[in-house]
Amino acid sequence: QVQLVESGGGLVQPGGSLRLSCAAAASIFNLYAVAWYRQAPGTQRALVAAIGSARNSARVINYADSVKGRFSISSEYVNRTVYLQMNRLKPEDTAAYYCNAGPDDGRLGEYDYWGQGTQVTVSS
**Higher pLDDT, residue 101 or 27:** 101
Predicted confidence band of residue 118 (pLDDT cuts 50, 70, 90): very high
Pairing of strands 18-24, 4-7: antiparallel
Q: What tens digit of pLDDT does each residue of 57-112 get? A: 677 889 999 999 999 999 887 769 999 999 999 999 999 999 999 998 888 888 99
pLDDT at 1 over 90: no
